[in-house]
Amino acid sequence: MSRLTLTGISKRYADFAAVDNIDLELQSGEFVSLLGPSGCGKTTTLRMIAGFVDPTSGTIEVDGELLSSPKGSIPPDRRQMSMIFQSYAVWPNMTVEQNVAFGLELRKLGKSEIKRRVGEMLEIVHMSHLADRYPSELSGGQQQRVSLARAIVIRPSILLLDEPLSNLDAALREEMRFEIRRLHDEFHITTVYVTHDQAEAMVTSDRIAVMNHGRIEQIDDPRTLYDRPKTRFVAGFIGRTNFIEGDNDGHRISFDGFALPCAAFDGILSSQRKTVFSVRPHSMWLSETQPTTPGICPPVEVLVLERAFLGEHWDYVVKPRAGATTLRVATSPVNDIAVGASAWLQLEPHQMALIG
């Protein structure tokens, strides 16, 4: 296990900053995902860690050893890292067993040691029964398991994954998310995982670094990132949310069509007058009847504009009777309210994230 440190890392192409002054430190055995849209700089960052791209400025170190700087970089094959790409990149002319053994053979280990380690690894990834198969005889998920096994069997100091599940269908992606996390818990290899899929990042990661325009907007554990986003971009990229703007007069916050008392926010409010909150659809309560025992915040009468039944929940679009702002609310599948009907919306200030 190794500690990875990026200090002031940037990569520029003429006037374009693909990566812009990133600081990032991974503790030994930590799993961190770089999450963001296409073009945000996450893959460029990964390629600099791997040694395929030299930084324009800044340094990359592993356990205090300098790997990359503008003055020069240690080549990829001397970094004791393994990298898994979007394509499975397994050798088509080799069996599963031969693919997994390949890296060990390059390191000139003894035949008995290679056989032992390959056998153990195939057991761990549940591929022992397919050891003699060729890649063309495997499913996409099985090929990705071979790719993972080949990368891990050499016992790298750091494991790098570049959107490894993007070529799989939805069901296999979900299965492999948990498989990747299981393997990490088994070996505790320091891991950097690049993805644009928030569900992958949430399932696999100890921490997630959300990137935008070459910079890290926020890095936190998955729950903190979801519940307490610090910027509008992070709130909108991690799951669905509503953005509601209010006017704070020191006693209450007036929104479009309703108001909430400042006292209900437990001191999280800033002194600025204009405020913006992120409110997740599932963090509000919607009912056909007015609550008889409302909390510190009065319920808001709303009109149901749209609804969609999604099996596990109803997805409603509502607006306050006295305003024009629309809000998306997720409710229990038994909470059946017709379009055009009046309903009552209850907001919980402790589940409203202040982002501006």
Homologous superfamily of the 4-236 domain (CATH)? P-loop containing nucleotide triphosphate hydrolases (3.40.50.300)
Domain limits, the chain: 4-236, 241-354
Residue range 22-32: mean pLDDT, rounded:
97
pLDDT on residue 294: 61
pLDDT on residue 191: 97
**When comparing pLDDT for 201 and 271, which is higher?**
201
pLDDT in tens, 238-256: 989 999 999 998 888 999 9
Q: Which two tokens stand for residue 132?
A: 């003699």
Tell me: pLDDT of 112 over 70: yes
Residues 6+ apart with CB under 8 A from 342: 301, 302, 303, 304, 321
pLDDT in tens, 28-63: 999 999 999 999 999 999 999 999 999 999 999 999
Residue 208 to residues 36, 54, 136, 218, 268: CA-CA distances in angstroms? 10, 24, 35, 8, 24
Tell me the pLDDT of the chain averaged across its residues: 92
In this prediction, what percent of the chain has a pLDDT beyond 90?
A: 79
Closest CA to 329 of 234, 201, 320, 274: 320
pTM of the model: 0.90
How many other β-carbons are positioned within 10 Å of the β-carbon of residue 127?
20
CA end-to-end span of the chain: 39
Integer Cα distance of 307 and 314 in angstroms: 7
CA gyration radius, the chain: 25
pLDDT on residue 141: 87
CATH of region 241-354, choose from 3.40.50.2300, 1.25.40.20, 2.40.50.140, 2.40.110.10: 2.40.50.140
pLDDT on residue 269: 76
pLDDT on residue 283: 93
Tell me: pLDDT of 287 over 90: yes
Tell me: pLDDT of 295 over 80: no
pLDDT in tens, 146-173: 999 999 999 999 999 999 888 888 888 8
